[in-house]
Amino acid sequence: MAPRTLGNMATRREFGSWLSGPDVPTGETTDRDSLGLPASGPGSRAGLGRRVVALCVDWAAASAISYAFFDLDSWATLGIFAVMNLILVGTVGSTLGHALLRLQVRRLDVSVPHLVGLGRSAVRALLLCLVIPAVVWDTDGRGLHDKAAGTVIVRR
């Protein structure tokens, strides 16, 4: 069998990959992602690292309140966490952790940044507290809790 020469080799483009990202013609760039949000900067989707740190800040705040009033009861902590998410995301669009990390929860179905509202916030908070929907992501990098609520976490 003759050795393969450079002319016979398959290229990465021929095989394709989910890691290679969108197919953009050479010399062109995209300024929007698959959700129609800016590809970078304010209004772009928040990265996983910042979202996890924000979640940890929120859980620490809920734990501190639970410790002060309920002797760190785990159900009380979860309830406080849920209420914080429900009220803060529904009214101002960010929790304490989101605000510290300059993140915001926005509705995805409107072109102008819009408040999430208590209904969508309730769906999001409930599914976030169930954990599994929050750790299962779609191809856009959004957790199922955000997908079900029609929201996305973006940079401010």
For residues 88 and 63, give the distance between their C-alpha atoms in angstroms, rounded to a whole number: 17
11 part of a folded domain: no
For residues 150 and 52, give the distance between their C-alpha atoms in angstroms, rounded to a whole number: 20
138 part of a folded domain: yes
Q: Report which DSSP code applies to 20.
A: S
14 part of a folded domain: no
Range of the domain at 141: 36-155
- Which of 153, 32, 21, 144 is CA-nearest to residue 99? 153
Question: How many structural domains comprise the chain?
Answer: 1
8 part of a folded domain: no
How confident is the prediction along the chain (156 residues), in pLDDT tens digits per residue?
A: 555 555 555 554 444 444 444 454 444 456 877 777 887 888 888 888 999 999 999 999 999 999 999 998 999 999 999 999 999 999 999 999 999 999 999 998 876 677 899 999 999 999 999 988 888 888 878 889 999 999 999 998
